[in-house]
Amino acid sequence: RSSAASDVYKRQEYGAVLKEGLYEDAERKETLLDLCRFSTNESEDPISLSQYLEKMPDTQKEIYYISAETSAQALASPHLEGFKSKNIPVLIMTDAIDQFWLPMIGSFKEKKFTSITQGKINLDELDSKNKDKKNKSNDKDKQDKEYVDLIAQLKVVLGDQVKDIRLSSKLTDSPVCLVADEGDMDIAMEQLMAQRDSNYKGAPRILEINGDHSLIKNMKSLLSKKESNDLVSDAVSYTHLRAHET
């Protein structure tokens, strides 16, 4: 069997079993981690974690992953947009056991496993040139000031349906996305809990908005016209509902 075929065989036949071993046998985690294979947002061909590290840009300090029920769902997620645009590899996690071994293992070769659907990720920090970073920082400061009023209005409309609202550095094509706060349960884990308990209520999520998207820009423009507040409120409710569907 060829090396490539062998990797596919390992992933399909033993992938979940190896991951269960990571959760149950921490003493052998290094050996098991070396055996595990993962597809990425760049290719369905499974790679090892060492190969992932080789693909990382020099400025990248963490191992990024996204969890979903299927690869198709993961690849369609708006959370991946910024990573795709910057050619940053993201591991695809589709096994239920992933929600247990990842937080327990924590890292691989001193690189932390980081879910892209949880916490605050600033992709601008991965730009390789200091000049690019400075320009992006100045642009962000300017955009933060421009969207203060809209974000305040969004918070009034959505209330306790969201934990917070902020501008996103991850979105390029979609207007909004929802993320779990740093200390809360990751979105995929919440979905797993909800499948097992119909009464389970997860924590409110953070709404991230794309300040460069035409819909968000139009909402900001409409808000400046005081008579359009109701229209903005309707648009806010609609986009929040759509964010739950992605």
Q: For the segment 154-168, what is each residue's pLDDT rounded down to a tens digit?
A: 999 899 999 999 999
Mean pLDDT value of segment 35-56: 92
pLDDT confidence of residue 187: 85
Q: For the segment 200-214, what is each residue's pLDDT rounded down to a tens digit?
A: 888 899 999 999 999
Share the mean pLDDT of the chain. Answer: 85
What pTM, to 2 d.p., does this model score?
Answer: 0.86
Q: For the segment 168-181, what is each residue's pLDDT rounded down to a tens digit?
A: 989 999 999 999 99
Cβ(47)–Cβ(40) under 8 Å? yes
Cβ(116)–Cβ(79) under 8 Å? yes
pLDDT confidence of residue 134: 61
pLDDT confidence of residue 170: 92
Quote the crossing angle between the two packed helices 229-244 and 148-158, to the nearest 10°: 70
